[in-house]
A and B are shown apart, each in its own frame.
Chain A
Amino acid sequence: MLDECMTNSDVVLDVQDLVVHYELKNEVVKAVNGISFTLQKGRSIGLVGETGAGKTTTALAIMNLVPKPPGVVKSGTIDVCGYKMLELKPKQLEKIRGKEISMIFQDPMTSLNPVISVGEQIAESVKLHENVSASEAYDRAIEMLELVGIPGERAGEYPHQFSGGMRQRVLIAIALACNPRILIADEPTTALDVTIQAQVLNMINDLKKQFGTALIMITHDLGVVAKMCDDVAVMYAGRIVEKGTLEDVFNDTKHPYTEGLFNSLPDITKRESELKPIPGLIADPTKLPEGCAFAPRCQYATDACRERPPTIHQISPTHLVECTAYDNPGFQIEGWQNHG
């Protein structure tokens, strides 16, 4: 039964009202504070945000890999192809991880085992999930290596013999070896050079199309999102503050934080345009304010924003923004496109 996805609809991932805290000795890190989103078969969503926005914790929670302790999943449900991830036993989880859902991490240097050849590391993951012989698994590993653009004869080599970009390819090969329905990529190209980043991103895009894998792209880079994603969820202090299709969020920006992110980026087409950074510091997840977490840095903030949690507004069937300012129907942000 575990081999087949038990759901009929196209939704492969459904996260509802997820709350994850890290309870340390003297303080509570409120990493994720009520996140909901769904992902359809073959689509890609970008989770965008800065340090401490809760992106990685969300991803770990989806895999049910939040380190416990100190991590505590306070509430929420996560449904991966019909499996309730948060309720499964470790044995069942092992079956699902790698098979239905895989994850690649930011640092390709530490994610591979240095004393096992890359071919065997890929074969390992195949053997875990599929009823195949060792040599079949190894053949599959070589096939996967070629798919990610590494000559098959290098399967016997060890991680230290590969460059950073190559190692990231190996990780992708491991993640995709069992053809999972969902791939979570946590800042997969942040440690890589721009030209290598272009190679790796193109490759992920190709494989995604080929296998029909749904993708969760976690990144701080709006450029990567523009290249890779159909949908975008902008995160701040453990909440999704704006969510919509790529066009919704990029061309019809609603949330002041999203606007601030765009204004912080130098525009390569206009050199003289001044950067307009978001003032202040990134919200401290151990000391979140009562009201909207972004209010202290927000140029539009009112007393209402500071006093009570932000309200959610449906701009269009696909576009959602969580901002109290939109209680006033006439409210508009200045719009980053008009600057410069």
Chain B
Amino acid sequence: MGNTILEVKNLKKYFKSPRGMVHAVDGVQFSIERGQTLGVVGESGCGKSTLGRCVLRLIEPTEGEVFFEGRDICKLKKREIKELRKEMQIIFQDPFSSLNPRKTVLEIISEPIVFNKLMPGASRAQIENRVLELMDTVGIAERLINAYPHELDGGRRQRIGIARALAMNPKFIVCDEPVSALDVSIQAQILNLLKKLQKEMGLTYMFITHDLSVVHYFSNDIIVMYLGQVVEKAPSDVLFKNPLHPYTRALLSSILVPKVGGNQDTIQLRGEVTSPIDPPDECRFAKRCDYRCETCEGSNPPLVEVEENHFVACHCVKPGENLLKKSGAVSAS
């Protein structure tokens, strides 16, 4: 156990659909150390948001275990979950739909405090003081305490969403694409704020995003997801310097660098993501992969540790040998 705050084992979430079972999350496994950030990267439909919500049990996982500080939260009863919510919070992507348009900033931030009786016996003034403190922490001026969300811009709304999560004094926060709806200059403000909060409060983040440059900047470890499964898992620097899975390589090479002549050698993937409905037992990336062979179509590769802390799910990458040509790697000069 040691310093592990969250451990996820073989987590699965299937949805029923008219055409069969959608394997949104399919056997995901990872752990996060206290005070660290785990980045979860993948394209739309890879199951990263579903994973984030399963971890918080905002949706019920189909199968698997989620240990938060040693307790399996999938086995908790309703009452106990309510307690758990104080420890685990979430920040949402869309600063326009994540705040109730009918409530003021004060109401939105104080709601978790009042509802969970976090300050028993506190007067209205004391609660309000706490709200002002939180607003101060996330950088919203006191004068906006009675404003409605529609009067504020995206960056400020996102700050309110963060303040609402902090109101519960959580240890662990799932950040579901917290900056992807924001403008570049505002995005950097929010990223810096999240970093500052992590340092000051010792928070642990699970940072879900499709933006690779952001995740690299933000995370200690990164897992790359494809069609509900983890295809590669490594410390951030390792992943960017030495990506091993063909999908990770293509993904990294698709990052457009804001430099003259910086975007020459992109690996272009064929086709599009295949269907997550009842996928056959083969490597899910095989249909788009340049290195595919018969083994790839025969079975779904397990996640294997190929070097220290570096896990890959690919038949062509094994400890000590790498059948893929090195040339595809991103030059992380």
Name the CB-closest residue of A to B240: A268
Name the CB-closest residue of B to A196: B272
A interface footprint on B181-194 (CB within 8 Å = 1, 0 otherwise):
00111111101100
Name the CB-closest residue of B to A279: B189
Q: Is the CB of A275 within 8 A of B256?
A: no
Tell me which residues from 195 to 245 in chain A have a Cβ below 8 Å from any Cβ of chain B.
Answer: 195-199, 202, 220-227
Q: Is the CB of A266 within 8 A of B213?
A: yes
Q: Check B59 for interface membership: any CB of A closer than 8 A.
A: no
Q: Is the CB of B217 within 8 A of A266?
A: yes
Name the CB-closest residue of A to B189: A277
Q: Is the CB of B256 within 8 A of A227?
A: yes
Looking at the complex, which one of B183, B236, B254, B257 makes contact with A50 (CB distance below 8 Å)? B183
Q: How far is the CA of A271 from the CA of B239 in the complex (A)?
A: 12
Q: How far is the CA of A277 from the CA of B155 in the complex (A)?
A: 12
A interface footprint on B162-199 (CB within 8 Å = 1, 0 otherwise):
00000000000000000000011111110110000000
A interface footprint on B263-300 (CB within 8 Å = 1, 0 otherwise):
10010110010000000000000000000000000000
Stretch touching chain B among A4-12, A93-101, A256-264:
A256-264
Given contacts A50-B184, A51-B183, A226-B259, contact A195 B191 (CB under 8 A): no
Q: How far is the CA of A260 from the CA of B189 in the complex (A)?
A: 12
Q: How far is the CA of A276 from the CA of B195 in the complex (A)?
A: 13
Q: How far is the CA of A274 from the CA of B189 in the complex (A)?
A: 11
Looking at the complex, which one of A194, A271, A276 makes contact with B236 (CB distance below 8 Å)? A271
Q: How far is the CA of A166 from the CA of B271 in the complex (A)?
A: 10
Residues of A within 8 A of B44 (CB): 193
Q: Check B312 for interface membership: any CB of A closer than 8 A.
A: no
Shortest Cβ gap from A220 to chain B (Å): 6
Q: Is the CB of B257 within 8 A of A226?
A: yes
Q: Is the CB of A265 within 8 A of B184?
A: yes
Given contacts A193-B43, A268-B332, contact A277 B256 (CB under 8 A): no
Stretch touching chain B among A132-140, A246-254, A314-322:
A246-254
Q: How far is the CA of A37 from the CA of B196 in the complex (A)?
A: 42
Residues of A within 8 A of B258 (CB): 222-223, 225-226, 250, 262, 265
Q: Is the CB of B155 within 8 A of A199?
A: no
Given contacts A265-B188, A265-B213, A266-B213, contact A195 B236 (CB under 8 A): no
Q: Is the CB of B251 within 8 A of A194?
A: yes
Given contacts A198-B254, A281-B153, contact A264 B185 (CB under 8 A): yes
Q: Check A163 for interface membership: any CB of B closer than 8 A.
A: yes
Q: How far is the CA of A223 from the CA of B185 in the complex (A)?
A: 15
Q: Is the CB of B192 within 8 A of A194?
A: no
Q: Check B262 for interface membership: any CB of A closer than 8 A.
A: yes
Interface centre among B184, B213, B217 (most CB of A within 10 A): B184
Q: Check A165 for interface membership: any CB of B closer than 8 A.
A: yes
Q: Check B130 for interface membership: any CB of A closer than 8 A.
A: no
Residues of A within 8 A of B132 (CB): none
Q: Check A269 for interface membership: any CB of B closer than 8 A.
A: yes
Q: Check A278 for interface membership: any CB of B closer than 8 A.
A: yes
Residues of A within 8 A of B259 (CB): 226, 250
Q: Check B32 for interface membership: any CB of A closer than 8 A.
A: no
Given contacts A202-B268, A250-B259, contact A277 B250 (CB under 8 A): no
Q: Check B255 for interface membership: any CB of A closer than 8 A.
A: yes
Residues of A within 8 A of B214 (CB): 266
Name the CB-closest residue of B to A278: B185
Residues of A within 8 A of B217 (CB): 266-268, 271, 275
Q: Check A282 for interface membership: any CB of B closer than 8 A.
A: yes
Residues of B within 8 A of A271 (CB): 216-217, 236-237, 240
Shortest Cβ gap from B246 to chain A (Å): 12
Q: Is the CB of A198 within 8 A of B216?
A: no
Q: Is the CB of A268 within 8 A of B155?
A: no
Q: How far is the CA of A195 from the CA of B44 in the complex (A)?
A: 11
Q: Is the CB of A277 within 8 A of B212?
A: no
Q: Is the CB of B256 within 8 A of A226?
A: yes
Residues of A within 8 A of B256 (CB): 197, 221, 223-224, 226-227
Q: How far is the CA of A264 from the CA of B184 in the complex (A)?
A: 6
Q: How far is the CA of A308 from the CA of B40 in the complex (A)?
A: 48
Shortest Cβ gap from B114 to chain A (Å): 30
Tell me which residues from 300 to 323 in chain A have a Cβ below 8 Å from any Cβ of chain B.
Answer: none
Q: Is the CB of B188 within 8 A of A282?
A: no
Q: Is the CB of A281 within 8 A of B155?
A: yes
Enumerate 7 A-B pairs (CB-CB under 8 Å) in ascending A order: A199-B268, A221-B256, A223-B255, A261-B184, A267-B213, A271-B216, A282-B186
- A-side residues, CB < 8 A to B, are 50-51, 163, 165-166, 193-199, 202, 220-227, 246-247, 250-251, 260-269, 271, 274-279, 281-282
- B-side residues, CB < 8 A to A, are 43-44, 153-156, 183-189, 191-192, 210, 212-214, 216-218, 236-237, 240, 250-251, 253-263, 266, 268-269, 272, 332-333
Question: Ordered nearest first, which 6 A-B pairs have the shortest CB separation?
Answer: A223-B256, A277-B188, A266-B217, A222-B258, A264-B188, A193-B43
